Copies of this chain bind each other. A is one copy, B any other.
Amino acid sequence: MAPSDSATAFVPGHVTAAFSVHRREDPERTGSRGAGVATSHGVTTTVAPAAETTVILDGTDTSIEPVVRVLDALGVTARVTCETPLPIGAGFGVSGAAALGAAFAADEAFGVGRSENDLITVAHVAEVESGTGLGDVVAQARGGVPIRLDPGAPAHGRLDGVPATGRVEYLSFGDLSTAEVIEGDASALSAAGERALASLRERPTPDRLIEAGRTFARDADVLVDEVRAVLDAVPGAAMAMLGRSVFAFGTALTDAGYDAAACEIDHAGVRRR
């Protein structure tokens, strides 16, 4: 493929139901184990070659550190434009999606010629080094309802999935700092995450994912008041890690009277537009 003027990629959002933190010397081997849902509401990222790198998110000049790191790693500078219907910093993996989309779009715009695993690795490392996430990128690359069996980039991290399709609802009350939780002492959280993952692998269904996520949120002590209230009212809802947000399959949130956003499970994962 010849280099083109600009290129665009779409990356699904991703909500994590439960996770454990795994830090190694090597950022490619650093990551999380856990499970979540890739959503058809995602991030569309366009990369256009430019003299210096700038990032525009939903029309506003901003800085998304993992995006800048991705372009640096590929040795290019570009104007990066991201559009998303998702709330920012609220547990939907917007930073991971922007980083992964920037990698795929830049590969095309500059004719870099990397494989998908290489581009996923570049985005995963950028996200880990920025402290913005540990497992969204590999999940967003796969799509579906991904189970992260191992932490890390594709060469190290095996994935599985829960067979499921259909509607996903979500509701957000705003952001939580991911870095604060995942950079600190995560041993109690990780122990709860490992139990949740074991429970899900015993019976990999959407119902069990929600159940494991609810138990994890309580055991890992990450519940905030607004989220706790929704989980108390809606047995089919789980918390989106790590944001003041909840998600559910089907119509569980709207049935309970919440004004929730609705989308679908995204099976395709990252792809060029």
Contact = CB atoms under 8 A, between A and B. Distances in A.
Contact of A115 (B115, B143, B161): B161
- Sorting the interface of chain A by its residue count into under 10, 10 to 19, 20 to 34 or 35 or more gives 20 to 34
A268 interface: yes
Interface in A96-127: 104, 107-108, 113-117, 119
A201 interface: yes
Contacts of A161: 115-117
A155 to B, nearest CB: 8
A163 B267 contact: no
A129 interface: no
Interface in A201-236: 201, 203-207
Nearest to A107: B163
Interface string A33-57: 0000000000000000000000000
Given A113-B203, A115-B160, A116-B160, 8 more contacts: A1-B164, A104-B163, A117-B161, A144-B271, A163-B272, A164-B272, A165-B271, A165-B272
